[in-house]
Structure 1
Amino acid sequence: MAKLTQDERTILAMFSYMRPSGTPTETAFIERFLTPLGFTRDPFENLVLTVGDNPRILWSSHVDTVHGKEGIQTLNYDGETLTLSKAAKLNSSCLGADDTAGIWLMTEMIKANVPGVYVVHHAEESGCIGSRDLAKGNPEFFKDIDAAIAFDRIGYTSVITHQMGMRTASDRFALSFAAMIDDALGNGEKSKYEADDTGSYTDTNEYAHLVPECTNISVGYHSQHTRSESQHVGHLIALRNLLVRADLSKLVIARDPAVVDYAGGSRGFYRGGFYGHSSAWDLEEPWENPSNYTAFQDRRTSGSMEDLVRAYPDVAANILASYGMSRNTLMDEISDMYGDAALEAV
């Protein structure tokens, strides 16, 4: 393999950290990669940094990974795709591209002085805790924000317009984002980014009642939350190169956050991308009726995971598919964890 570039070295270093929320390894990652850039904690444990005067875009990722334990993992990189090493798969539950990819992208945009309010959220994998607490505890934080753009989506082409079946961004915004990226490509090239109404959820979903355009952008990972997770490094670097020269003034802000729209959300899951690869349920939201907030929290926290899957098997299957988990991948994970005997009834 050719000598690694500085971008590749930094990406590999970031991806080596297994970071369950609140662990010393998460803290070490923050101190190495985020604190030196000027990120500080808000009262809700999110990491926040503002670039520029009165920016109107919030750029979003999350610091935690879904690893079962903390520590440093070894990686395999073939010059294009990053995966866990064979040895790491014995101890690590995932690569952690969700959302190390988004963090790397945001740190690069900061270094390039791209304007924005940058938020690396706390405990997204535990139920969007940091973003939910911020939206509830300090809604004034969002008064000048027109768009909340997360970098936390599988694949290569998605500009998410719906999360959990609810519209969170307008089609006009999604089209303008895609056009902005195409313009940055130049020479009449097309990135294949397009409006996608099949989002599950990420932190920007918590802001949909406060911010007009809340979206999630594909950053080139697949099979997240599994040992088969992979990151297409070339896509990530190419997206960085486009975003640092994109004309953000071309983004169209069209959605009214006061309007609740459950249209769309077709749950078709994957499309092609830059490099020619082919590839929720309607809960009443707490802001529709503030008195429902406690009941909403109870639905999210009471009972076991097994109870929830038994109650909503079709929904659970759809969510797994939206995360890039195929039937064969799930069978491989079951076999790895419990042995082939666990699959005899399947």
Structure 2
Amino acid sequence: MPQKVRIALDAMGGDVGASVVIPGAAASLNRHPDTEFLLFGDQALIEPQLAKHPAMKAASRVVHTDVAVGMDDKPSQALRRGRRTSSMWLAIDAVKKGEVGVAISAGNTGALVAMARFCLRMLPGIDRPALAALWPTMRGDSVVLDLGATIGGDAHHLIALALMGSAMASVLLDLERPTVGLLNIGVEEMKGHEEIREAAASLRAMSLPQLEYIGFIEGDGIAKGAADVIVTEGFCGNIALKAAEGTARQLAEFLRDAMSRTWRSRLGYLFAKAAFRALREKMDPNKSNGSVLLGLNGIVVKSHGGTDAEGFAYAVDVGYEMVHYDLLTKINQMLNRDGGALAQAQTAQEAVS
């Protein structure tokens, strides 16, 4: 009998908590019936939602806590007040104890990063975690990271992101040797700050068998799908993500206004309704919900806090695939292959400096 994929859910996380988490997880369960859930949160709020989804109820166990991390809590406050007792901490701790393969939360991003780092610790050779997600592009999906787990980063950090992102791309995109590009203000080698130029020189000198470094990529290269993995530090990555999500909503609003302006445009919309529906689905940020917190000794997935049940279901799908295809083992293999990729990076950095 195939082994079950066990997932811990912070049922209190996000803007509305269990009323989105439970139906979202139930939708993912329909796609992945070999899933079991460990739900952490207020039982009085969880049980009525489970009653609406019998299959989800049968596949779940509830662990009660009435302590939830607020969306506005500072990470330090969340660690002090919510450590050991909050639904977010307990979900992450279940990963540490080996009770589940992944924890998923739509809660406060800063608190989630801080708690996950404190509870799970970092993988050897990795200094800081990174948020990585699938980004829809003109040529399919790309993995983009860091989307805001931390700010800034030296060359060593950028190289670690390239390695971890490549491991994620190999899992989700089924690629043997993903292409990798560094996000920069230009494609010329002299462009950008010292850290990114140093990372580029090292990646080129290393010539790793597990990834193909293709050079710098400008901002418009993300949408073009210029590389399978696009690497940047968290400040720029988060701005790029929020700008893309805002642009998608803006274009959808422009289309809606244009199609309802005159009777002719309304008639044209009726003829092209299926095409517009397909476009709307392509541009829907919920379809790409679910960022993986990489670099930890365990798997944690962050969902958008304001997502709906459908969007949360996609985050659960990502968590399922990360466990099913053993992302953590693949990352370790990437980092330790051929004497250790990060050790090679250090040698390459010394050679080019």
Report the TM-score when normalising by structure 1.
0.30
Q: With CA pairs under 8 Å and 6+ residues apart, which has the higher RCO, 1 or 2? A: 2
Higher helix share: 2
Report the TM-score when normalising by structure 2.
0.29
